Amino acid sequence: MNSQRLTMISVAVVILVIAAFAIVPRLTATQASGDIDYGANPRLGSPDAPVKVAVFFDFLCPHCASFSANTTPVLEQEFVNDGTAAIYFLNFPVVHPIVSRDVALVGECVFQQGNDIFTQLEPVLMRGQQSLRSRADAIDMALAYAPDLDGGALRDCVASTEAADALAADVAAANQLRITGTPSVAVNGQLVANPTLANLRQAIRNAAN
């Protein structure tokens, strides 16, 4: 091999190494993170849990219903019950421009009457999402499955600016994390790129250590 060819190969190797160092920071920078007002959102688990798992969801999203039925209970059993993590629920209405927002407002107002009432109703509304076609449907379902709810207060709340502001705060947090779909999950403010059960388990364990 002549010296000219060796020189060309050496130059190519140097270029590749430089390119690699340039690319790595860009990949790292795409890992979005953001600040979330955990105290303003419903949760499973203790507010003192060191790992905070924020689930951004839409009550009309089929994948969110699957997440609620299959992933949330596992995370609750493995990490919430022992105090390692708490799961927080944040609205990100994207499926339908009107109905998703209306059902999200009902969820916000259910939470205003009690965290436990919300966590009781969340899986119910998810399972019944095919029947949610309007704000009235969501209110009726909530009252049917949570008889302790104050129906008048719930309807007043849904129409209030406070509920709209709470929903806007959730959407702002999602936008800060550059979320585009549901379900999306952030662990201690760090977005998990592919929130499979295996990836979420690993993210929670990493955050706990």
Q: What is the pLDDT of residue 7?
A: 44
Encoded amino acid at 82, one letter? D
How much of the chain is helix, strand and coil, in % rounded to 5?
60, 10, 30
Check: CB of residue 109 under 8 Å from CB of residue 158. yes
Name the β-bridge partners of 187. 53, 190
Q: 111-128: b or e for each residue (b if 16 or more CB lie within 10 Å)?
A: bbbebebbbebbeebbeb
One pLDDT digit (tens) per residue for the chain, 209 residues: 554 544 444 434 333 333 433 333 333 333 566 789 999 999 999 999 999 999 999 999 999 999 999 999 999 999 999 999 999 999 999 999 999 999 999 999 999 999 999 999 999 999 999 999 999 999 999 999 999 999 999 999 999 999 999 999 999 999 999 999 999 999 999 999 999 999 999 999 999 99
The whole-number pLDDT of residue 31 equals 54
Burial of 68 (0-12, 13-18, 19+ CB in 10 A): buried
